[in-house]
Amino acid sequence: MSPTVPAPLNLVGGSWVQAGEPVVDVVDPATGEVVTRIPDTDGAGVDAAVAAAREALADWRTTTPFHRATLLHRLADGVREHRDELVGLVTLEMGKPLREAGNEVDKLADAFDYYAEEAVRVHGETIPNEQHGVTSIVRYEPVGVVGAITPWNYPLELIGWKLAAALAAGCTIVVKPSEYTPSSAVALMALLQPAGFPDGVANLVLGAGVAGRALASHPGLDKLAFTGSTATGAAISRSVAKAMPLSMELGGSCPQVVTASADVDEAVAGCLRRGFRNAGQICIAINRVYVHRSVHREFVEKLTAGVEALTVGPGSKDPDVGPVTNAGIRDRCVAHVQQAVADGARVTTGGAVIDRPGTWFAPTVVDEVPPTTLLAQEETFGPVVGVTPYDTTEEAVALANGTTAGLAAYLYARDLTEVFEIGHALDFGNVAVNNPDAGIMNAPYGGRKGSGHGYEHGREGLFGYLHIKHLRVRYGR
């Protein structure tokens, strides 16, 4: 049974308001059917949300971190209580299989609990002075009003990282979710008031390009947090109204390096999980694999067999792989595979659109991918993995580092010399060795180069919403 889709309303200052005529279709990617329509909030609607956040800031920033922690724990409880509803909405609008949607909602609740605990562990320090009767105190204070623009691939979790850290720090926030997946965001924000959050502390504006541009360039923000494509991140960086902190998690195009000493079965299992989970629609998905020539054929044969065994179907049927979320992703998969083949690569499985209603692309392995082709240079963001053999460690590192991406990389090797030499040489913010999970909640997560700047997760994720103040006091004569 399909979940009940909430009314497409903005949350502004604690009130649910209509932000104009619905003009944007929200589509079930498994069927192609329109499930709801949302407005594209205009500048006046964004102004109202930012003004509400500014009004709420004066009181919220002075609440104790213990009170903020209590409310965040209540919000985590609310997420768990409404788990089935949230899971259903994610699957309906994004296409994610039910198990994966459930994992996302569980991790959303965990994020609220984690930052509730971190809120009470923000410690300043005192610094000795060269003069008697003078002391220096370092304080951490909330940045202020935050704008958050989030994508569709993890429509709740990527809101949660920003919402949890910002509220824990004492900031207020305006969230603009993706136009592809608005309903789960509406359902999440509806849990704020029951948890006890004051009106205006967290606000929601729905929309597409109009709303996104109005929020990103709004002069009333004190910080902007964005997750999305590298191109959009670059455009946002040019559009901000004033000098202010920006945190950006941008595109991945993540490599996997498999050395001659690797456990090939483990490497294949890792690639299956991180290359095809969420239909490859994740910033830290494995996009390109560099395999030592001595184990290349074994790796490709086992990966191909593993991909062919994956089940594909609507997310509501809980397959291994669901549809891709929109036509743009499907068409990019087509373009990347076709160009790779034209450049001399070969498809070992998949490689084509699945002919059914909705937006589908078959899980695909492409072997002998030239390093210069799009599949090896750009983020596909779909269920496609390209494989390239290599001969020397230096060649593998150069290939892995040879794009503008710097978010995550994966290394499979049992030789400790390879683990440390290659692990240190990979120019990425996150490197996972002999496992497919590059991020955990209590460690910093962020990219470098074209993959953005700033951090989420860990204490660093909270400190991204705090200013540092040096208070130097003379108290003696």
Choose the CATH number for 254-433 among 2.40.110.10, 3.40.50.300, 2.120.10.70, 3.40.309.10.
3.40.309.10
pLDDT at 474 over 80: yes
pLDDT of residue 231: 86
Confidence grade of residue 2 (pLDDT, cut at 50, 70, 90): confident
Q: Are 330 and 30 in contact (CB under 8 A)?
A: no
Q: What is the DSSP string of 19-72?
A: -S---EEEE-TTT--EEEEE----HHHHHHHHHHHHHHHHHHTTS-HHHHHHHH
CA-based Rg of the chain, rounded to a whole angstrom?
A: 23
Supply the mean pLDDT for the chain.
97
Confidence grade of residue 258 (pLDDT, cut at 50, 70, 90): very high
Instruction: For residue range 373-420, list pLDDT tens digits in order.
Output: 999 999 999 999 999 999 999 999 999 999 999 999 999 999 999 999
* Active-site annotation holder among 171, 254, 283, 333: 283
pLDDT at 171 over 70: yes
Instruction: For residue range 422-438, list pLDDT tens digits in order.
Output: 999 999 999 999 999 99
Cα separation, 222 vs 218, whole angstroms: 9
pLDDT at 75 over 70: yes
* 3-state SS assignment for residue 87: helix
pLDDT at 230 over 90: no
Cα separation, 272 vs 393, whole angstroms: 23
Cα separation, 290 vs 151, whole angstroms: 29
Residue 244: burial class (beta carbons within 10 Å; 0-12, 13-18, 19+): middle
Of 47 and 243, more confident: 47
**Mean pLDDT in residue range 83-94:** 98
249 is catalytic: yes
- Closest by alpha carbon to 465, among 29, 177, 65, 47? 65
Cα separation, 103 vs 456, whole angstroms: 18
Q: Are 84 and 412 in contact (CB under 8 A)?
A: no
Cα separation, 337 vs 328, whole angstroms: 14
pTM: 0.96
Least confidently predicted of 182-196, 236-250, 299-313, 324-338:
236-250
Residues of the chain with CATH 3.40.605.10: 10-250+449-471
Confidence grade of residue 241 (pLDDT, cut at 50, 70, 90): confident
81 is catalytic: no
pLDDT at 7 over 80: yes
Cα separation, 322 vs 441, whole angstroms: 26
Q: Given its phi and psi angles, is residue 32 left (phi above 0), alpha (psi -120 to 50 degrees) or beta? A: left
Per DSSP, helices labelled H in 241-348 are 264-276, 293-308, 327-342
pLDDT at 1 over 80: no
Overall size of the chain counted in residues: 477
Instruction: For residue range 116-163, list pLDDT tens digits in order.
Output: 999 999 999 999 999 999 999 999 999 999 999 999 999 999 999 999
Cα separation, 277 vs 261, whole angstroms: 26
pLDDT at 237 over 90: no
Residue 389: burial class (beta carbons within 10 Å; 0-12, 13-18, 19+): buried
pLDDT at 467 over 80: yes
CATH for 10-250+449-471?
3.40.605.10
Residues of the chain with CATH 3.40.309.10: 254-433
pLDDT at 370 over 80: yes
pLDDT at 477 over 80: no
Q: Given its phi and psi angles, is residue 40 left (phi above 0), alpha (psi -120 to 50 degrees) or beta? A: beta
How many helices (H) and strands (E) the chain has is answered by: 16, 20
Confidence grade of residue 476 (pLDDT, cut at 50, 70, 90): confident
* Active-site annotation holder among 100, 104, 249, 418: 249
CB atoms < 10 A from the CB of 308, how many?
13
**Mean pLDDT in residue range 36-61:** 98
